């Protein structure tokens, strides 16, 4: 899953990036409101973590611009102030959740995963696709009840497809969520990962819809 972290404090930004990457996210960062607004407007994110006290353009203005432009990805607001009026203002501007600083990183990660699950209509932390089970908390998989060995890229691909039930996802979209903006990833790289997963779990697990992309077959 690709996440945008918007935070102007370099230490907090680095801590967030490190913790979210350890939790399996692909992380882009922005240090001011203008950069955040542009990134959220042109890139494809599964979720954003947005600080309110930003230089150049404040966080609420960034959020309102995203929502006015039709950008619907979930947004978690972070703020140094815990004032309830600010929380209300954030929710009314289009935020999906709110945490006051200081916060526990583990709670933040859990809430972000919850927002992504709810947005996808996935209610459990364990996602079942036929004989495959993905434990999104432990970032682990089983197949026919036995542990399945997955590389980080293989897990991220399965995790992203599992949160797009019934929708064919293009190779380009998958590459963005597996590699982010700074790493190299193209259709050939995605095809190679899909081929490896089909060898491990059977060719019927991931279906290709020509001209549209890949999707998981729940009956596999």
pTM above 0.75, yes or no: yes
Query: Could you state, in order of their start, the residue ranges of all structural domains in the chain?
Result: 2-120, 126-216
Q: List the pLDDT tens digit at each of the 220 positions of the chain.
A: 899 999 999 999 999 999 999 999 999 999 999 999 999 999 989 999 999 999 999 999 999 999 999 999 999 999 887 677 878 888 899 999 999 988 999 999 999 999 999 888 887 889 888 889 999 888 999 999 999 999 999 999 999 999 988 899 999 999 989 987 655 568 889 999 999 999 999 999 999 998 899 998 766 5
Return the CATH class of domain 126-216.
mainly alpha
Alpha helix locations (H) across 43-147? 59-68, 84-93, 105-120
What fold does the segment set 2-120 form as a domain? Rossmann fold (3.40.50)
């Amino acid at each position: 899953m690709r996440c945008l972290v918007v935070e102007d404090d370099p230490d907090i930004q680095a801590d967030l990036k490190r913790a979210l990457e350890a939790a399996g996210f692909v992380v882009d960062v922005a240090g001011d409101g203008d950069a955040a607004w542009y990134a959220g407007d042109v890139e494809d994110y599964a979720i954003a973590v947005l600080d309110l006290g930003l230089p150049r353009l404040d966080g609420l203005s960034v959020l309102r611009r995203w929502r006015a432009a039709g950008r619907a990805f979930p947004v978690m607001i972070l703020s140094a102030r815990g004032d309830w009026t600010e929380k209300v203002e954030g929710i009314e501007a289009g935020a999906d959740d709110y945490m006051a600083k200081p916060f526990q990183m583990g709670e933040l990660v859990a809430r972000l995963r919850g927002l992504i699950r709810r947005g996808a209509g996935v209610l459990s932390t364990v996602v079942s696709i036929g004989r495959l089970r993905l434990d999104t908390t432990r970032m682990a998989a089983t197949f026919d009840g036995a542990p399945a060995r997955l590389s980080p890229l293989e897990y991220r691909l399965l995790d992203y497809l599992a949160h797009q039930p019934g929708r064919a996802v293009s190779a380009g979209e998958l590459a963005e969520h597996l590699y982010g903006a700074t790493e190299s990833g193209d259709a050939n790289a995605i095809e190679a990962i899909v081929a490896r997963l089909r060898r491990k779990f059977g060719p019927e697990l991931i279906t290709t819809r020509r001209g549209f992309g890949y999707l998981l077959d729940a009956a596999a």
